[in-house]
Structure 1
Amino acid sequence: MGTSETPFKLAYGTEARIPVKTGSPSHRVINFDEISNIEGLKTNLELLDEVRDKAVKRMESYKEKTKLYFAKKAKIREYKAGDLVLRHTEASDPTNQGKLQPNWEDPYTVKEVLRPGTYKLSYLGGTEVPNTWHGARLRKFYQ
């Protein structure tokens, strides 16, 4: 979850006490004052939105750090229209796999860059290949 708050506190504004701790004498149980407890619960409810906002910010920060960590490992492959590329066989035909099967197939021409990382391919004869292809499933072809 990426936050230090419990779901109970995010929902109700205060921490829950488990039944085992309720029966055992602790500083909190011995010095219990019902009036100050009610005031404290009201204060917790008033601050609940702030606690939730902090939890959301911590979650966003955690997601951003995770994204940056994995983005460092990603190889960004960019191609231009007209580049020759090979297509990964697993992406084109998942049933045709095997230890001795080739990993890459046919040189194709990048026909169009739809957006960064997404490409439309064509065979060398000019016929368009169905579907779009992700750059991670393509490799530059050198003649």
Structure 2
Amino acid sequence: MEELPSVLWSYRTTPRSATQETPFSLTYGSEAVVPAEFITPSPRIGAYAVEVNEEERRVDLDLAEEKRDMAAVKVAIYKNILTSYYNARVKHLRFSPGDQVLRKNSVSRAESQGKLSPKWEGPYRIVESSQNGYCKLAYRDGSRVLRTWHAENLRLYHP
């Protein structure tokens, strides 16, 4: 419990990889002075001048909103890079009408989930499929399943 304030301080003053900004600077508009800089004077502390600091502080506060907007743009770019990296290895499944598939029991929750319960249920027949991966299913008797299912929750059935 005694270490919590120092852990939070280090978290708030460490730059994030997505934005290259610290949460402290995004909140308050300027960088924090680390307590160790008071004990061992740093060039930043040595160059401190009250008159100049007040003027620069006002400029920092005026630019704080722009800094936050730039950080939001950097986060969006970072997320797009991560998404494309992840999706490069994804193999998209495409089913066509008439295919027989099994669906995940864990997603449908049709049967109780236990250690020895079946992981897949079916077979079902694909009635319609869309470009974004969603499929409408039908039971063996031809009646339709009420929900649509994403292809990631289905697998091809080979009798």
* Same-fold call, TM cutoff 0.5: yes
Match of 2:112 among 95, 105, 114: 95
Distance, in Å, in 1 between the alignment partners of 2:24 and 2:77 is 22
Structure having greater relative contact order (Cα 8 Å, sep ≥ 6)? 1
Q: Write the mapping of 1:78-117 to structure 2, written as runs, cut at 5 A.
A: 78-92=94-108, 93=110, 95-98=112-115, 103-113=119-129, 116-117=132-133
Which residues of structure 2 form unaligned runs of 5+? Answer: 1-15
Q: Does 1:58 align with 2:74?
A: yes
Corresponding residue pairs, total? 142
**Counterpart position of 1:119:** 135
Matched residue of 1:126: which SS?
coil
Equivalent of 1:43 in 45, 55, 59: 59
Structure 1 position 63, deviation (Å) = 0.5
**Contact 2:37 2:45 survives alignment (8 Å):** no
Contact 1:109–1:121 at 8 Å: present in 2 too?
A: yes
Please give the TM-score of this superposition, normalised by the length of structure 1: 0.80
Structure 2 residue aligned with 1:15: 31
- TM-score normalized by structure 2? 0.73
Indicate the percent of aligned positions where both proteins have the same amino acid: 35
**Structure 1 residues 84-131: Cα deviation after superposition (integer angstroms, max 9, x where no partner):** 2222344334635546x6544332111233662222211121022232
